Structure 1
Amino acid sequence: MTASASAPAFAAATFLPDDLLERFRERAARVDRDNVFPDEDLAELKDAGYLAILVPQALGGAGLGLAEASVLQQRLAGAAPATALAINMHLVWTGVAKVLADRGIETLRFVQEGAAAGEVFAFGISEAGNDLVLFGSDTDAAPQPDGSYAFTGTKIFTSLAPVWTQLGLHGLDTTSPDGPQMVYAFVPRSDAVVTRDDWDTVGMRGTQSRTTELHGVVAPADRVVRRVAPGPNPDPIVFGIFSVFELLLASVYTGIARRAIEVAVATAKKRTSKKTGATYSQDPDIRWRIAEMALAYDALPPQLASLSRDVDALADHGAQWFALLSGIKHRAVTTAKRVVDEAVLVAGGSSYFSGSELGRLYRDVLAGLFHPSDPESAHSTVAAAWLGPVDS
């Protein structure tokens, strides 16, 4: 299908109907309490074709664009934030495949075909202490005679840890004649990959984003998709990962913000003041607080829609691209946290219980602060875009 004004509504009804979302919402509390992966959610998303929403129709997918995927992820996050964040990491790789294919680079076609066939792709980029993120790696990428690469290192925050079938990752090749080179590749599950059972966190527990140890795991030559120089780089795979990751991540936290407003509104309409006998929805202070939440939230969906459409349409923002993408992620997560804080104040002490939905959103929304780009990186990127680099 092609993008149109009615496309988001069509996609929502097709892939995330209300009854499906209610099942996700009902499970979310148990998934959080038991610190388990939402296997039932994944099974239903697979059945709905959700894992292939960004795959072209000709390859068995839905052919949606990033703008439509963003709306869907906002909707999914409003029901089950951890499920949405986990699936986000799979959608990042299918989104990168789309970004590259739209620009005439077909090296990730196997990702599109795999997603349509039921493969689950995980995102193995984050490393402890590596604030270079895409621009460097502590993982060793050792070239093999047949063109394959053996990866040795440790990745953190590997969402979908119990269920992924393919891991997209990067490492640093320091031995090739043209080295050092950042190597992007995909590896299957094998005995050379060890997943630690160490995901015991404050929130987003259902993502099961466990630590992954790589012990010489081999990416076949046809799964080595890109070699680029380390450091800031305009290579299409760097842009693809950065753009899709930031936009879909921002979408998840925007969805959390909207759900927090919905819960706050419903609570305000139900709670009755002993002092006045009226519902809290009639209290001017509560009304001001909810209006403040809505005013903050309302700015996010249009920005997401605009930037997502620009990526789909191959718009050229030049050197401003990374500042724009860092900016929307930063605004989304900080706004979502502020909105949830306000919602908790509206709802009162009941939200302090771990089993309450707002209590869970309060914990889940904190994870947004730790995803790239963090506040320091976002501000540095935006400052460089407007002021130029710092004098050496």
Structure 2
Amino acid sequence: MTDLLSDELLADVRRRAADYDRDNAFFSEDLADLQASGYLGAMVPAALGGAGLTLRQTARLQARLAAHAPATALAVNMHHVWVGVGRYLHERGDSSLDWLLREAAAGEVFGFGYSEPGNDLVLLGSRTEARPDGNGGFTFHGRKIFTSNSPAWTRLGVLGLEKTGMLRGRNGSARLVHAFITREGGGFEILDDWDTIGMRASQSRSTVLDGAHAPADRVLRLLPPGPSLDPYVLGIFTSFEVLLSAVYAGIADRALELAVDAAGKRTSMKTGKSYAQDPDVRRRIADMALALDSVWLQLDGITGDLDASAADPELDRGAGWFRATAGLKVRVTDAAREIVDQAVRVSGGSTYFNGSELGRLYRDVLAGIFHPSSDDAAHATVAQSLLGPLE
């Protein structure tokens, strides 16, 4: 594991993070280093050319990367999500994404093109139109937002709704089309519209699809709109929520580290002692640590069960994974925001300046609010698991 993210590599990543943020620039040098280290193939099984790491091990590495450069980790996350889906299927005897695993190990960069403006259905529906090409493939027409790795992805996973054409679902109903397009295939425009307050280096720009083509062999699922227990959907949901949580846990790790360092370096004029001796500061830091301990217990527990469930059916929660991982994402991102906020209070007014690393973390951690599952969506998922669907 340490070979994939060496101390030297991480030091370079941290050194560049502030410049990427200041310049609103893509993390191109970081990406080149991560490709060279084999990190993009971290979860690819060894037999398919990768490092063979588990989801739990990769989550730990993602947190470590996020502690050095959150935006870099977030963007790489979207690549790891697809590798995680391929691994999830592969371990359950489904080889439909083995091609993706091999390509990830060979250096291809995967992007996640599912989010859309105004679409709170996320995986359950799409505003993008998928038009059959007559040969089992589809062209896609619509707008995607928050497309991380926009300057560098070579393969983009997309979701669209097939409403008319040659292929129909049950009872003539429309179907959701899950597929992959390639950069060289064209049929899309990437807008230069990423100018945010945080996570700037991810360059998660909008993507306008206007005829982007996925041939039949890159159409992975045709599913009815709405909830699904298809392993492909479960793999996307669980990988996305878990790895996203790991990024924000890494931000919280770093915030605590910076707060402890600041408390030791700052001196009170009132007492003449360091702030590490101030009872209020000590309590704040203890609160941060207690919250962070809980975060890691949850992350390690859920990723451990997901890893083991491929071989042990008793650990497979089925539909319960939606509740478990959506809840994990909300709890971790909420805890991370609170931990960073407490770290800012401990560290003082210097964090309000642009050159402050902790000030940057304060902006970056806010992005956790906007990733699915939202707080409202997670609560709806948990309520349905306990009370059944709304009538």
Q: TM-score, normalised by structure 2?
A: 0.96
In the alignment, structure 1 residue 328 sits paired with structure 2 residue 328: yes
Aligned to 2:119: 130
Aligned to 2:211: 216
Aligned to 2:14: 25
Q: Counterparts of 1:1-392 in structure 2 under 5 Å?
A: 11=1, 13-175=2-164, 176-178=167-169, 179-189=173-183, 190-314=185-309, 315-390=315-390, 392=391
DSSP-derived class of the 2:319 partner: helix
Q: Is the 8 A contact 2:229 2:318 kept in 1?
A: no
User: Displacement, 1:344?
Assistant: 0.3
Deviates more, 1:129-138 or 1:17-26: 17-26
Aligned to 1:6: none
Instruction: Give aligned pairs, total.
Output: 380
User: Displacement, 1:387?
Assistant: 2.2
| AA aligned opposite 2:44 | V
Aligned to 1:7: none
Encode CA deviations 1:184-230: one digit per residue, 9 max, x unaligned: 10001143110000000010000000000101111011111111111
Using the alignment, how far apart are the partners of 2:228 and 2:102 within structure 1? Answer: 28
DSSP-derived class of the 2:178 partner: strand
DSSP-derived class of the 1:253 partner: helix
Using the alignment, how far apart are the partners of 2:379 and 2:36 within structure 1? Answer: 41
Encode CA deviations 1:119-177: one digit per residue, 9 max, x unaligned: 00000000000000000001111111111111111100000000000101110111223
Using the alignment, how far apart are the partners of 1:29 and 1:376 within structure 2? Answer: 33
DSSP-derived class of the 1:15 partner: coil
DSSP-derived class of the 1:317 partner: coil
User: Displacement, 1:316?
Assistant: 1.5
Deviates more, 1:162-171 or 1:102-111: 102-111
| AA aligned opposite 2:300 | A
Encode CA deviations 1:5-62: one digit per residue, 9 max, x unaligned: xxxxxx1x22112222111111100000000001110011011100000101111100
Using the alignment, how far apart are the partners of 2:47 and 2:325 within structure 1? Answer: 29
Encode CA deviations 1:290-320: one digit per residue, 9 max, x unaligned: 0001111111112111111221222221332
Q: Which runs of 5+ in 1 are unaligned?
A: 1-10
Q: Name the Cα RMSD after superposition.
A: 0.9
Using the alignment, how far apart are the partners of 2:38 and 2:326 within structure 1? Answer: 30
| AA aligned opposite 2:174 | P
DSSP-derived class of the 1:311 partner: helix
Q: TM-score, normalised by structure 1?
A: 0.96
| AA aligned opposite 1:110 | W
Using the alignment, how far apart are the partners of 2:143 and 2:35 within structure 1? Answer: 29
Deviates more, 1:319-328 or 1:154-163: 319-328
| AA aligned opposite 1:213 | V
DSSP-derived class of the 2:389 partner: coil
- Runs of 4+ in structure 1 off by over 4 angstroms are none
Using the alignment, how far apart are the partners of 2:321 and 2:101 within structure 1? Answer: 25
| AA aligned opposite 2:242 | L
| AA aligned opposite 1:356 | S
| AA aligned opposite 1:82 | A
Using the alignment, how far apart are the partners of 1:233 and 1:191 within structure 2? Answer: 30
Using the alignment, how far apart are the partners of 2:83 and 2:124 within structure 1? Answer: 21
Q: Which runs of 5+ in 2 are unaligned?
A: 310-314
User: Displacement, 1:273?
Assistant: 0.8
Aligned to 1:4: none
User: Displacement, 1:385?
Assistant: 1.1
Q: Is the 8 A contact 2:177 2:221 kept in 1?
A: yes
Encode CA deviations 1:320-377: one digit per residue, 9 max, x unaligned: 2211111100011000000000000000000001220010000000000000000000
Using the alignment, how far apart are the partners of 1:285 and 1:324 within structure 2? Answer: 35
